[in-house]
């Protein structure tokens, strides 16, 4: 449970940071950022693998670049599900996915393993 909490907090902070630095991304409150983090986590855990499997031929044809389209679709879907979170276009959604991934990874690295036991 500690790892889930750490990842959710790291992603929520990354969402707030991305909304602060990117023009086309808007998050109303920190509670909205937490909800966005949970929704993105659920979409990335359950929907993204299905989309990847269904789009294997086009992903191979585009040498993996179609995975960027899937990331944008996940972000846009999260924006449509969470009130108070808006993304103004495809390019801001792509930049948002990059920024959130990098910042969340950095925050998770700083916070530590989050309860993993060896």
Q: Give the mean model confidence (pLDDT) for residues 67-75.
A: 97
- Residue 113 scores a pLDDT above 80: no
Q: Which of 47, 25, 34 is nearest to 94 (CA)?
A: 25
| pLDDT for position 74 | 98
Tell me the CA distances in angstroms from 8 to 11, 19, 34, 76, one per residue in order.
5, 16, 7, 19
Residue 118's pLDDT band (boundaries 50, 70, 90)?
Answer: very low
Q: What is the pTM of this model?
A: 0.90
Kindly report the backbone phi and psi dihedral angles of residue 63, in degrees, each rounded to the nearest multiple of 5, phi listed first: 55, 35
With vertex at residue 15, the alpha carbon angle to CA 14 and CA 20, rounded to the nearest 5 degrees, is 95
| pLDDT for position 116 | 53
Q: Give per-residue pLDDT as tens, 76-91.
A: 999 999 999 999 999 9
Percentage of the chain lying above the pLDDT 70 cut: 94
């Amino acid at each position: 449970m500690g790892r889930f909490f750490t990842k959710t907090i790291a992603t929520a902070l990354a969402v707030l940071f991305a909304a602060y630095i990117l023009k086309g991304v808007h998050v109303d409150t920190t509670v909205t950022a937490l909800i966005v983090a949970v929704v993105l986590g659920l979409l990335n855990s359950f929907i993204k693998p299905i989309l990847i499997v269904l789009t294997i031929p086009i992903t191979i044809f585009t040498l993996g670049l179609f995975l960027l389209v899937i990331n944008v679709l996940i972000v846009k879907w999260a924006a449509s599900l969470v009130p108070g979170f808006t993304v103004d276009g495809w390019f801001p959604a792509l930049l948002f996915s990059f920024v959130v991934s990098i910042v969340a990874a950095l925050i998770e690295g700083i916070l530590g393993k989050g309860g993993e036991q060896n």
